[in-house]
Amino acid sequence: MSDFPNRLDNELTALNEAAQRAARTALSLNHSQAESLRMIAAFTERLVNDTGPPLRARH
């Protein structure tokens, strides 16, 4: 049995945590830097949420 679902879960969790840290860091940046970082964090969070459980459930 492949360990892919567990590895993917770990990677998605790490990616989501990094996005959350980036969003918190954005508070100390100038407006344009902060907006860019918030957009990346929001996209990453959506990606993790949309890809997470349904993909793991298929394996």
Cα 20–Cα 23–Cα 28 angle in degrees, nearest 5: 140
Report the alpha-carbon distance of residue 40 to residue 23 in Å, rounded.
Answer: 9
**pTM summary value:** 0.54
Kindly report the average pLDDT of the chain as a whole number.
78
pLDDT tens sequence across 13-30: 888 888 888 878 877 778
